[in-house]
Structure 1
């Protein structure tokens, strides 16, 4: 019923939200200037149900008599549990089950190959937001490991996001750095504090794909992120996997959208702009 929040639209990066769900363009944005939802506006829309990932919003909406479900996801099992929940909510249990089967089969396929990589050939990988100097989501440890890498940020943390600094990143000395913004690549390469890091010396810094969402973050495209990481970091080990074909099949099956080759390339570049 609602468009993306204004704070998202200002980024200009959510092009494929509108391609996959063009109805969003004619919907209202229900976020006010403080990034809080407009409860008055939501009440006027008379929704059967609201979804939110913000706990304070749950109290806000429930206090106004609006049915609400809180979506909490940190690791891969959360993503799968939520797909089951959404299947029940939308009466699409069969499609949810098909996705779960796809999820498990894809991860098994990649992991089986990844397990053959000797320990001394495994790459140390860092998923980094240079702008915030953080590892944005804990789930990066999971997809890096499943792709055959060693996540340097796989340490105990009190929060979902892990704050870091140049000194710590130098100590980790990753072989590969993955970011979610092209400007982060420039920032890292131009920052003298990172000049001795192996990934920087070898220019092994990659902008992750961006489709309906940032693949590296929590979302339905996580299996594709594992596949992309494996092929990017270990091209020889995963050369038999046709990533473009897998992407095409994925979006047609789970989004009902027949994607073009140019769109696949745009998603893989992570540079799509509205």
Structure 2
């Protein structure tokens, strides 16, 4: 019996060690599961992403500013080239200039450069998402496919990315800011007579004849500012060759017939139009009511979270100065940047925003429509550059 005791002790020790090994294996499996979470993206797909987000690639034009609104720009490991062309954004966040920029424009992605950036997942629109999914195993989280850009969509996208990055309070802060701005405008303009709602024409590109029609996000902003869209009787929805979706070019004869009270341009100067005899019959020209569109982190002639707040206030101040005597647009811009981007703008930066000077560095629409925003050649391993049906959805 005494001889059996050591054997029993050894057997018990061995069983104890074996059980411990099994326990450790179970813990590893549990940890792997607890390190990820599943989300449903804006395309309705279920995607598994890490709980601890450290490296994310974000592809898109207007949506590229949202990580900075959420305060998670340090999580970015790859961006679009357009983000790096933004002089103001590069000043606010110098690190962005050091990141890989695999995406040139919608549907043009350097896959090798994307893989080199080693993201945990990619945030992208439908065209870019399809390319990434086809050529890599990187998880893709999609935002809205179409750039309707209205207030509801803008808030939905900011809220969604707030959930992805687990910054719901930051997303809510932005949404509340936008809601309060629209509420302020609505209350201030509630009793505005119809005959005081000035007709506004957005004359983009070097021709100043490319515009947004009925049902567009731009029309929503124009109406929020107590004005009417000159192009409200035409539809510019869908894709036109060489032009961003949602835009179309009209004729000078059509513009003269509309006879807008205010013209907003994103190219050149008001003097260019004042000195051109072709425009002389239009009320906005006669009354010197042509204005250069501001531009900041991103151009204001595309739907972005920033311009959704600031553009309508800027236009309302121009169209109805007597109703907004207490509003200083420079103060409003500084306030927005301080509260939402947590960045203190200088006077010089505000002046550059209001003059539209930043547009020349951002590119996009303000550089001309025919080919400008579609260029992105010269890079290796580009995929999906020929998706004609959707290419201009989310530049």
User: TM-score normalized by structure 1?
Assistant: 0.88
Residue equivalent to 2:147: 73
* Secondary structure of the corresponding residue to residue 109 of structure 2: coil
Q: Distance in 1 between matches of 2:180 and 2:316?
A: 15
- Specify which of 226, 240, 253 is matched with residue 312 of structure 2: 226
User: Once the two structures are superposed, what CA deviation does each residue of 1:75-111 show, in whole Å capped at 9, x if it has no partner?
Assistant: 2211111011111111110010111111111111012
- Specify which of 144, 148, 159 is matched with residue 84 of structure 1: 159
Residue equivalent to 1:42: 114
How many pairs were matched up? Answer: 268
* Secondary structure of the corresponding residue to residue 323 of structure 2: coil
Residue equivalent to 1:141: 219
User: Once the two structures are superposed, what CA deviation does each residue of 1:26-59 show, in whole Å capped at 9, x if it has no partner?
Assistant: 1223246997111121122121222334x33221
Question: Residue 73 of structure 1 contacts residue 79 of structure 1 at CA under 8 Å; is this kept in 2?
Answer: no
Q: Distance in 2 between matches of 1:109 and 1:140?
A: 19
Correspondence 1:104-143 to 2 at 5 A: 104-131=179-206, 133-135=209-211, 138-143=216-221
Question: Residue 130 of structure 1 contacts residue 188 of structure 1 at CA under 8 Å; is this kept in 2?
Answer: no
Structure 1 residue 185, shift from structure 2 partner:
3.3
Residue equivalent to 1:261: 347
Correspondence 1:1-274 to 2 at 5 A: 1-2=77-78, 4-5=80-81, 9=85, 14-31=86-103, 36-53=108-125, 55-63=126-134, 64-68=136-140, 69-71=142-144, 72-74=146-148, 75-131=150-206, 133-135=209-211, 138-155=216-233, 156-159=235-238, 160-181=246-267, 183=268, 185-221=270-306, 222-272=308-358
Q: Distance in 2 between matches of 1:241 and 1:7?
A: 31
Q: Distance in 1 between matches of 2:106 and 2:224?
A: 38
Structure with the largest fraction of strand: 2
User: Once the two structures are superposed, what CA deviation does each residue of 1:46-75 show, in whole Å capped at 9, x if it has no partner?
Assistant: 21222334x332211111222222444312
Residues 100, 185 of structure 1: CA spacing in aligned structure 2 closer, same or farther, 3 A cutoff? Answer: same
Question: Residue 3 of structure 1 contacts residue 26 of structure 1 at CA under 8 Å; is this kept in 2?
Answer: no
Consecutive unaligned residues in structure 2, runs of 5 or more: 1-76, 239-245, 362-395
Q: Distance in 2 between matches of 1:174 and 1:241?
A: 25
Residues 200, 52 of structure 1: CA spacing in aligned structure 2 closer, same or farther, 3 A cutoff? Answer: farther
Q: CA RMSD in A?
A: 2.4
Residues 136, 124 of structure 1: CA spacing in aligned structure 2 closer, same or farther, 3 A cutoff? Answer: closer
User: Once the two structures are superposed, what CA deviation does each residue of 1:147-198 show, in whole Å capped at 9, x if it has no partner?
Assistant: 00011122334321132121111111110011223x1635433443322111
Q: Distance in 1 between matches of 2:93 and 2:201?
A: 32
Structure 1 residue 7, shift from structure 2 partner:
10
Q: Distance in 2 between matches of 1:33 and 1:78?
A: 21
Residues 65, 192 of structure 1: CA spacing in aligned structure 2 closer, same or farther, 3 A cutoff? Answer: farther
Residues 32, 212 of structure 1: CA spacing in aligned structure 2 closer, same or farther, 3 A cutoff? Answer: closer
Residues 214, 204 of structure 1: CA spacing in aligned structure 2 closer, same or farther, 3 A cutoff? Answer: same
User: Once the two structures are superposed, what CA deviation does each residue of 1:115-139 show, in whole Å capped at 9, x if it has no partner?
Assistant: 2221112110011214263115821
Query: Which sits farther off after the overlay, 104-113 or 160-169?
Result: 160-169
Q: Distance in 1 between matches of 2:96 and 2:196?
A: 45
Consecutive unaligned residues in structure 1, runs of 5 or more: none
User: TM-score normalized by structure 2?
Assistant: 0.63
Question: Residue 152 of structure 1 contacts residue 174 of structure 1 at CA under 8 Å; is this kept in 2?
Answer: yes
